[in-house]
A and B are shown apart, each in its own frame.
Chain A
């Protein structure tokens, strides 16, 4: 069951302009107006904005999408149990037993489609096929009515190799004349595995109508992590913190087993009794960050839907499957080092709070503060607001000041004939030995920011970066 426009169903969407939803610089959904201008899902944001300059880009909010999707999942679960959510807007459900109960595939698909329409309006697509990959393609091909695929291998054979979602691999396949999944499935599996390794083997399995998960293994009974909370977790911040810790523990627990999960069960017990459980699915094995994020969405959906009255007293996470695809460590890295580091940083977070333990990524911009994109340690970094690969003329050259003010303080500078002669650093006036500048910075004038002249000023005590603005001179950074 798939709602392609689910990320677009949000209250802040402007009604009469083309809209796209962007996550980590990639378009994840586009409305018909944007699509008419050439915008496609999977496109880079800049490319999409080049094709459709009037498009409004909204940052993806998977948590809010999950909250809105929860009633839809619950409605489907009332018809068929064991629903697996891949992401808000897309869910899978095994229908073997339900088909017999409803007397056939079409009646079941119709019942599900009716439930979707009742809870979420039109736009839902239902596809029924062998395996999640084929079912997802069938849902993509569905229009107003459900698509039931009688022969999955034949259905897949007509699709191009780009449907695999592995762009590099698809390019190579096309270069070799393998343009459809049918072409790929006809090749000997051993030959594909020999030439393309595990990735090729996965692709061959999928193209042949089999499930992507390889070498399913028995899951040890004790392979689950859980925490009890007294008093119950009442807010999302607490729940998110607990989710991150549990995700880290589960990934740790998987290391000795040597496998990773494509599906995980998340269970929350409410203080007033009910136990909520949901299975999350991913086409790639869950890593710590994406597992933590997935658990966080799910908990948020339950908390905001009022499904866990009285707060959460227990959270349990367990793998629902286990594959041989283990995590690849970096050269020189060992699991113990990484575990120790994670525990140490987790402890630091508990001491100073999650907002004080930070990582940063480079992004585009002209000033040092602008070129740093901060995010909390352990969380997925946000998409860069400014393209780091763009030229950025006027950018401050390296070296960058090692100390940069978040709120630049006033700096006293004496000038003579327009040249700086003395600077007050602390309680002392220092003679200016040399300086570079002024470099004019026009600022974000359309948001009311005035121009400024930047100077690098060198004294015997070191060098500083300052800006002369209308209101005076401020200290931007210190070359420490």
Chain B
């Protein structure tokens, strides 16, 4: 999928998304889903969502594959002392583990192992809402069930800059994403995220909805 030139970056600090834009933040009590294969840039995006809550309390990343590198989290701005990585490949233990973390942490990024039941995910979503904790789910394979997520973000394309035929090095990348769910007001929208490779993962609005009056017309 070709990615057009990015327009002005307006929500770099993710404090004030423009009216109508998709709010890609891990707000308290919300459940976000990041769906896409490894390499689509969603791990770094998911970790960047933990940055604001990590300013006040520890946050956790549940690592199912045993591959998560905390350097990526440090690069996006999480203090090493505020990040706890919990390794758990066992899908039987996984629901209890994530529930335990949600009981006391403001935000959890959790890879979802294959085979976790939909009812477990729904219970976790309810717990996150009840405890006002943000939960970012990243299935290692497949999709997430409908009705669990406040916002579902699917990877559509990734484009890297900085490399050539043997020259340069990986630098900035742009992710084309499809957002859907209540957080996208029930309409599937395309959003673009730029990742400068250092400390900024920014949301770039591409299809901000028109005001209701115009949309109707």
Q: Do A and B bind each other?
A: yes
Q: Select one of A348, A399, A400 contacting B195, CB under 8 A.
A: A399
User: What are the residues of chain A within 8 A of B97 when measuring CB–CB?
Assistant: 348, 351-352
Indicate if B163 sits at the interface (CB-CB under 8 A): yes
Interface residues in A, total, Cβ within 8 A? 57
User: What are the residues of chain A within 8 A of B88 when measuring CB–CB?
Assistant: 351-352, 356
> Given A344-B105, A368-B71, A406-B67, are A351 and B93 neighbors across the interface (CB < 8 Å)?
yes
User: What are the residues of chain A within 8 A of B166 when measuring CB–CB?
Assistant: 419, 435-438
Complex Cα gap A426–B140 (Å): 13
A436-B84 in contact (CB<8A): no
B160-A359 in contact (CB<8A): no
B interface: dominant SS: mixed
- Give B199's nearest chain A residue, CB to CB: A398
> Interface with B: A150-158, A167-175, A215-223, A458-466, which one?
A458-466
A333-B47 in contact (CB<8A): no
Instruction: List the count of A-B residue pairs having beta carbons below 8 Å apart.
Output: 180
Binary contact track B142-170/A, C-beta < 8 Å → 1, others 0:
00000000000000011010111111111
Indicate if A241 sits at the interface (CB-CB under 8 A): no
B104-A342 in contact (CB<8A): yes
Task: Give the interface size class of chain B.
Answer: 35 or more
B75-A398 in contact (CB<8A): yes
- Give A459's nearest chain B residue, CB to CB: B39
Within 8 A of A (CB), among B29-67: 37-44, 47, 55-58, 60, 65-67
Indicate if A478 sits at the interface (CB-CB under 8 A): yes
B29 to chain A, nearest CB (A): 15
Q: Select one of A351, A406, A434 contacting B66, CB under 8 A.
A: A406
Indicate if A332 sits at the interface (CB-CB under 8 A): yes
- Give B74's nearest chain A residue, CB to CB: A362
Complex Cα gap A398–B169 (Å): 9
Complex Cα gap A351–B37 (Å): 28
Binary contact track A406-443/B, C-beta < 8 Å → 1, others 0:
10000000000001000001100000011111100000
Complex Cα gap A341–B170 (Å): 36
User: What are the residues of chain B within 8 A of A397 when measuring CB–CB?
Assistant: 169
Q: List 14 A-B contacts (CB under 8 A).
A: A340-B105, A341-B57, A345-B60, A348-B86, A362-B74, A371-B71, A399-B197, A402-B68, A436-B167, A436-B169, A458-B170, A462-B39, A462-B41, A478-B67
Residues of A in contact with B (beta carbons under 8 Å apart): 332-333, 337-338, 340-345, 347-348, 351-352, 356-362, 368-369, 371-372, 377, 397-406, 419, 425-426, 433-438, 456, 458-464, 477-480
Top 9 nearest A-B pairs (CB, nearest first) are: A462-B39, A344-B104, A402-B72, A340-B104, A399-B197, A402-B43, A480-B43, A403-B67, A404-B69
Other A-B pairs beyond A337-B106, A435-B166, A480-B42, 7, CB < 8 Å: A338-B57, A351-B97, A361-B80, A463-B39, A463-B173, A480-B39, A480-B44
